[in-house]
Structure 1
Amino acid sequence: MIRLNVFFELKDAAKAEELKALCRELVEKSLTDKGNVAYDYFASGTREGVMMICETWQDEDVLKTHMAAEHFTTLVPKIEALTKDGLKLEKFTF
């Protein structure tokens, strides 16, 4: 199994709802990907504008397929464009 925790910070507070909508769409579509175990996003309760996408995959092959999917290649760049310093990825295997 593979767990990805992707951290990012909103660049412009006026774009918060747009960012949340993009995250919701990414979660909704990614949950239907083959090999997905879990996929969600969270807003920090302690740091304003900080968010995390948390995802779990069965193996590297299904993760690669997800990363090539149209919803991923379309939505992730839009999410990243709304962040201060891009996406920070932590990858864990178990």
Structure 2
Amino acid sequence: MIRLNVFIQVSAENRAAVLEVAKELVACSLKDKGCIAYDIFESATRSDVLMICETWQDAESLTAHEGAAHFVTLVPQIQGLASMKLEKFDF
């Protein structure tokens, strides 16, 4: 399995827009084949930090997700509003 932690640093003025797009990304991604878990979390201590946690069955599932229409449309929208940092773990 593969776990991705995507940290999103966003300004106060863009936070609501990023959350809206991220929630759409979550809803669509949960339907992708091989998606075990996909959710967005808000930091309890920093209002400028969000995190998307993803768990994928295998590399093929993750690759298919990264090519899906919702991914190639929504992720650039988030990137235009915030900075993102990715951590990847295989287990």
2:89 counterpart (83, 89, 92): 92
Q: Unpaired runs of 5+ in structure 1?
A: none
- Runs of 4+ that moved beyond 2 A: none
**Number of residue pairs matched by the alignment:** 91
Post-superposition offset of 1:17: 1.3
Q: What's the % identity of the aligned pairs? A: 54
Post-superposition offset of 1:43: 0.9
Q: Unpaired runs of 5+ in structure 2?
A: none
Post-superposition offset of 1:87: 1.3
RMSD: 0.8
For residue 4 of structure 1, what is the aligned residue in structure 2?
4
Normalised to the residue count of structure 1, the TM-score between the two structures is: 0.93
Higher strand share: 2
Post-superposition offset of 1:15: 2.0
SS of alignment partner, residue 36 of structure 2 = strand
For residue 23 of structure 1, what is the aligned residue in structure 2?
22
